[in-house]
């Protein structure tokens, strides 16, 4: 009789264990598959930077923000900050760098019972405010034959194979090696996600061996770029004073502020605005500086 009771008890606990394991497996399988997106950040040594991240669930038609989820910032593999995503899926992660340079950062999902593990990388650009900065329109780096607009497909997630202009990466590398910081401006088309475009632009630049720099995403038109230049100057970045671009809007934004502008001229974009320097290719750009 006691033997039968022991067998019954053992069977009960075995079935209970199988049920718990099965429930845990189902619970794990039910986790939402997420994507982390991170923008580049700019700051000076010993000044607080704010790394912007966004957590989304990828959908067939559109992405859905994931709010109320923990995210962690890692710098050089060490946890440096934590935050929670808001209702729009965004999180702000503060960090104070001590030295200058371009610091790779990583943002990942924290311990979440609802969202599966995910991570993304970006650059924290740490320059002295006196560092001369070249502001480069992203489209000026792309081969003319494939260019179709201010962003030329970058940011759509569909045209990462767009070819760079000859010598663009090499000439920029020479300019950035000892003197200039490079700020890349990527245009955000209406309805597009600035976080996704920031990521796609950074990936394209790395793929084509352009020197690392600060990727800045802005909406179309002079207002967005002009406002950003004014904000940078007011924040002490007076060395942001030279623009290299292909579109007249980009070039005129610098000229209106009495800043230096170099326009790459080709058959697709016609004449340059008055007072702009003109370059026929990237080797010529370096000669104009």
Could you tell me the CATH number of the domain that includes residue 110?
A: 2.60.40.10
Residues 186 and 101 in one domain: no
The answer to the question of residue 224 being in a domain is yes
The arithmetic mean of pLDDT across residues 3-29, rounded, is: 46
pLDDT digits (tens, 9 = 90+) for 257-268: 999 999 998 766
Residues 120 and 166 in one domain: no
Give which of 114, 118, 111 is closest to 67, Cα–Cα.
114
Give which of 234, 228, 193, 230 is closest to 214, Cα–Cα.
228
Q: Return the minimum-mean-pLDDT range out of 14-23, 72-81, 203-212, 243-252.
A: 14-23
User: Is pLDDT above 80 for 270?
Assistant: no
Cβ(277)–Cβ(261) below 8 Å: yes
User: Is pLDDT above 60 for 41?
Assistant: yes
Spatial separation of the C-alpha atoms in residues 259 and 130, rounded to whole Å? 16
In which domain, by residue range, is 119 found?
34-126
Q: Which structure tokens are listed for 73?
A: 């910032």
Q: Which structure tokens are listed for 190?
A: 């209406």
- CATH code, domain with 183: 3.40.50.1000
Looking at 131-232, which runs of residues are DSSP E strands? 133-137, 181-188, 214-219
Looking at the DSSP bridge assignments, the partners of residue 279 are: 264
Contacts 24+ apart (CB under 8 A), 126-129: 126/43, 126/44, 126/45, 126/49, 126/97, 126/99, 126/100, 126/101, 126/102, 127/42, 127/44, 127/100, 127/181, 128/44, 128/45, 128/100, 129/44, 129/236, 129/237, 129/238, 129/239
Instruction: pLDDT band for 192, please (50, 70, 90 cuts).
Output: confident
Please give the pLDDT value at position 166: 93
Name the domain boundary from 97, 126, 155.
Answer: 126
Give which of 95, 101, 88 is closest to 194, Cα–Cα.
88
DSSP 78: E
Residues 178 and 212 in one domain: yes
Residues 282 and 152 in one domain: yes
Q: Check residue 63 and give left, alpha or beta (phi > 0: left; psi -120 to 50: alpha).
A: beta
The arithmetic mean of pLDDT across residues 107-111, rounded, is: 95
Residues 122 and 148 in one domain: no
Instruction: pLDDT band for 129, please (50, 70, 90 cuts).
Output: very high
Between 15 and 73, residue with greater pLDDT: 73
Residues 137 and 204 in one domain: yes
Secondary structure of residue 216 in the 3-state scheme:
strand
The answer to the question of residue 5 being in a domain is no
Please give the pLDDT value at position 136: 97
Please give the pLDDT value at position 26: 37
Q: How many domains does the chain have?
A: 2
Q: Which structure tokens are listed for 173?
A: 């590398």
The answer to the question of residue 273 being in a domain is yes
Name the domain boundary from 96, 126, 156.
Answer: 126
Residues 138 and 265 in one domain: yes
Instruction: Quote the mean pLDDT of the chain.
Output: 86
The answer to the question of residue 28 being in a domain is no
Residues 119 and 137 in one domain: no
Residues 95 and 137 in one domain: no
The answer to the question of residue 10 being in a domain is no
Residue that is written with structure tokens 């329109």 in the block: 137
Name the domain boundary from 63, 94, 126.
Answer: 126
Residues 139 and 279 in one domain: yes
pLDDT digits (tens, 9 = 90+) for 197-244: 999 999 999 999 999 999 999 988 778 999 999 999 999 999 999 999
Residues 48 and 161 in one domain: no
The answer to the question of residue 193 being in a domain is yes
Residues 159 and 280 in one domain: yes
Q: What order do you get walking across the sheet with 260-264 strand by strand?
A: 214-219, 181-188, 133-137, 240-245, 260-264, 277-279
């Amino acid at each position: 009789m006691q033997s039968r009771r022991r067998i019954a008890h053992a069977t009960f606990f075995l079935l209970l264990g199988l049920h718990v394991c099965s429930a845990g497996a189902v619970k794990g399988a039910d986790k939402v598959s997420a994507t982390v997106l991170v923008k580049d950040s700019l700051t000076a040594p010993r000044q607080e930077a704010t790394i912007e991240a966004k957590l989304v669930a990828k959908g067939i038609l559109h992405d859905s923000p994931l709010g109320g989820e923990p995210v962690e910032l890692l710098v050089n593999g060490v946890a440096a900050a934590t935050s929670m995503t808001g209702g729009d899926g965004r999180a702000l992660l503060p960090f104070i760098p001590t030295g200058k340079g371009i610091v790779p950062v990583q943002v990942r999902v924290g311990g979440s019972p609802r969202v599966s593990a995910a991570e993304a990388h970006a650059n924290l650009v740490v320059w002295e405010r006196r560092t001369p900065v070249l502001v480069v329109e992203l489209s000026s780096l792309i081969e003319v034959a494939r260019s179709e607009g201010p962003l030329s497909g970058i940011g759509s997630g569909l045209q990462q194979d767009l070819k760079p202009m000859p010598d663009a990466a090499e000439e920029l590398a020479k300019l950035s090696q000892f003197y200039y910081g490079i700020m890349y401006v990527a245009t955000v088309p209406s309805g597009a996600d600035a976080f996704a475009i920031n990521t796609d632009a950074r990936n394209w630049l790395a793929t084509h061996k352009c020197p690392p720099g600060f990727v800045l995403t802005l909406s179309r038109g002079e207002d967005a770029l002009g406002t950003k230049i004014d904000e940078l100057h007011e924040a002490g970045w007076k060395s942001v004073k030279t623009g290299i671009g292909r579109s007249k809007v980009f070039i005129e934004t610098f000229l209106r502020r009495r800043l230096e502008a170099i326009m790459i001229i080709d058959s697709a974009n016609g004449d340059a605005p008055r007072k702009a320097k003109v370059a026929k290719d990237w080797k010529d750009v370096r000669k104009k500086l």
